[in-house]
Amino acid sequence: MTESPRQSEIFVDADACPVKAEIQRVAERHAVVTHIVSNSGFRPSGNPLIRNVVVSDKFDAADDWIVERIQPGDIVVTADIQLADRCLKAGAQVLGPTGKPFTENSIGTALAMRELSSQLRDMGEIKGGGPAFSTADRSRFLNALEVAVQKAKRR
């Protein structure tokens, strides 16, 4: 008797994620197991489908935990471009918290821009972060996550 494939799951790089509540709402609506991965404490959900995972504060511990467990078709939410690259290579769908998907076609450019921005910051040419997270970003994210979950269900 063959085992049926596991349903796609959601993995969240949660420490600086501004859309945890939105992810939980979508996950609950679609009954999708969701792993909220962080190296700091946060309020746990009462829903058994929402799994709070606290990892060590070792550099990249949350990233490593996610990459070691994702499977093709899973959904990863992260703003970390290097983690996004690792997850794409493992066959996952990857969304940034503004709803912008990372894809095989876009990840190379994103990695190059990250490196360039890092060099410009080091030289003092760039100061501060990007634009503030907006209501439009939150709405765009909800729509993108809904599309990703639907795609995962069709898999």
Residue ranges of domains in the chain: 10-154
Chosen CATH of 10-154 out of 2.40.10, 3.40.50, 3.30.70, 1.10.3470: 3.40.50
pLDDT tens track of the chain, all 155 residues?
555 578 999 999 998 899 999 999 999 999 999 999 998 877 778 889 999 999 998 989 999 999 999 999 999 999 988 899 999 999 999 999 999 998 877 766 665 565 655 665 666 666 666 678 889 999 999 999 999 999 998 87
3-state secondary structure string, the chain?
Answer: CCCCCCCCCEEEECCCCCCHHHHHHHHHHHCCCEEEEECCCCCCCCCCCEEEEECCCCCCHHHHHHHHHCCCCCEEECCCHHHHHHHHHCCCEEECCCCCEECCCCHHHHHHHHHHHHHHHHCCCCCCCCCCCCHHHHHHHHHHHHHHHHHHHHC
Enter the pTM of the model.
0.84
